[in-house]
Amino acid sequence: MKYLKNAWYAAAWADELSQRPLARMICETPIVLFHDTERRPVALFDACPHRFAPLSLGRVQGDRIACGYHGLEFGRDGRCIKNPHGNGATPAALSVRSFPVVERCGMVWIWMGRSEMADSKHLPEHLKAFDQPGFVWSHGNLNVAAPYEMVVDNLLDLSHVEYLHPFLGSAGNSKGRTMRVEHDGNLLICRTEATDTPVTPLFRLMREGDESVDDENGDLRGETHWLAPANIYLDTTTTRVGAPLNTAISVPTYHLLTPATADSTHYFWAAGWNRLTDRDDVAQMLRTGIVNAFENEDEPMIRACRSRMHSNDLLENRPALLPIDEASVLARRILGRLIDVESKENAVLPDLG
């Protein structure tokens, strides 16, 4: 399967890394991740060049990792720096590939393509939302047993929320909802708006204690940014019916999707909120509700859909498309084009990665 290689992928939350090796499959490539002694992330190909033992079965020792089979040691750049056998030679052939990694907003990002093209200025712009004042955040990750494009489809379609997620949506939210989709290069923005619609249980929780907003209905808005290949920022807001946006309760979320294999996805999520931010019980309820939605509602549904498809390419299965699919179909086309362009470039240039 072809992936967009020259792009930043979410590899791990920084708090998953330590001086113990973490094994993670990314774009069908086994990777070992760890923190060096200065807490800088390191990512190496997870197979020793000697007899291919996964380095993740070895030990991190300061800034190096030692193979658990015969003890070769590798530095953060993948060069072998200690060979305990024979004359101790460490020729270049004993290197493993190292991958550019950068830590930003608590996430470790990995570049799977040509190292010389890795530039942190191409990290998703919308990560800035993490720094908005007045918000608290919760984050986590799960695995989805389905292609990452199907998880993107799910996130670019907010109409499923009222049917699949009793905590995140309310019956009737899709009625009269408008949707506007625009794109520029590898960024797609989808804006939805439903006015005078039942407020969702999640936003009811966020409204608690504010007697000025105890109405049954409100205006719900969603703004989704998809950045190829699969990094999504979704801001959902609610206001009283007809009230200005600057009065909104806002729940911004990140959905950073990284293909593990053609049929499995690492799903890193984060959710923030700007009301009741000092309430531990609210934080706990929000987290429980969100984790439940992703792990027990989205994941099983996406996996079940995949089980009824004869290939992992949705469009090859000739789906009956609805207007709600506009953004997801466009995202698939943009991604397909980017992968085609990259493949053609790779056909004429040597792989320097």
- Residue ranges that bind ligand FES, judged by CB under 6 A: 48, 50-51, 53, 67, 69-72
Least distance in Å: CB of 51 to ligand FES?
4
Of residues 112, 192, 196, the one with CA closest to residue 158: 192
298 binds, among Fe ion, ligand FES, none (CB under 5 to 8 A by kind): Fe ion
CA 235/CA 248 separation, integer angstroms: 11
Least distance in Å: CB of 292 to Fe ion?
11
Q: CB nearer to ligand FES: give 70 or 337.
A: 70
Q: CB nearer to ligand FES: give 13 or 69.
A: 69
Least distance in Å: CB of 324 to Fe ion?
13
CA 216/CA 218 separation, integer angstroms: 7
Instruction: Find the residue with minimal CB distance to Fe ion.
Output: 298
33 binds, among ligand FES, Fe ion, none (CB under 5 to 8 A by kind): none
Contact 218, 203 (CB under 8 A): yes
> What are the φ and ψ backbone dihedral angles of 235, each rounded to 5 degrees?
-105, 120
Q: CB nearer to ligand FES: give 90 or 346.
A: 90
Token match 């494009």: residue?
A: 149
Of residues 41, 347, 4, 327, the one with CA closest to residue 188: 327
Q: CB nearer to ligand FES: give 48 or 107.
A: 48
135 binds, among ligand FES, Fe ion, none (CB under 5 to 8 A by kind): none
Least distance in Å: CB of 230 to Fe ion?
15
67 binds, among Fe ion, ligand FES, none (CB under 5 to 8 A by kind): ligand FES
Least distance in Å: CB of 85 to ligand FES?
8
**Structure token pair of residue 333:** 């086309």
Give one word for 257, left, alpha or beta, with left for phi > 0 and alpha for psi -120 to 50: beta
Least distance in Å: CB of 18 to ligand FES?
22
Q: CB nearer to ligand FES: give 79 or 191.
A: 79
Q: CB nearer to Fe ion: give 162 or 298.
A: 298
Q: Which residues bind Fe ion (CB under 5 A)?
A: 298
Question: Three-class SS of residue 134?
Answer: coil
3-class SS string, 50-90: CCCCCHHHCEEECCEEECCCCCCEECCCCCEEECCCCCCCC
Question: Do β-strands 41-45 and 59-61 pair in parallel, antiparallel, or remain unpaired?
Answer: unpaired
Least distance in Å: CB of 82 to ligand FES?
10
Q: CB nearer to ligand FES: give 54 or 106.
A: 54
Q: CB nearer to Fe ion: give 29 or 192.
A: 192
- Start-to-end CA distance of the chain, whole Å, equals 18
Residue 128: partners with Cβ closer than 8 Å, 6 or more residues away: none
69 binds, among ligand FES, Fe ion, none (CB under 5 to 8 A by kind): ligand FES
Q: How many residues does the chain have?
A: 353
Cβ-in-10-Å burial (0-12, 13-18, 19+) of 171 comes to exposed
Least distance in Å: CB of 56 to ligand FES?
12
Q: CB nearer to ligand FES: give 91 or 242.
A: 91
**Structure token pair of residue 52:** 């291919």
Q: How far is CA 64 from CA 35, 45, 73, 186, in A?
A: 10, 14, 6, 37
Token match 């040597």: residue?
A: 350
Within 252-295, residue ranges assigned H as helices are: 280-292
Least distance in Å: CB of 27 to ligand FES?
23
Of residues 296, 153, 160, the one with CA closest to residue 230: 153
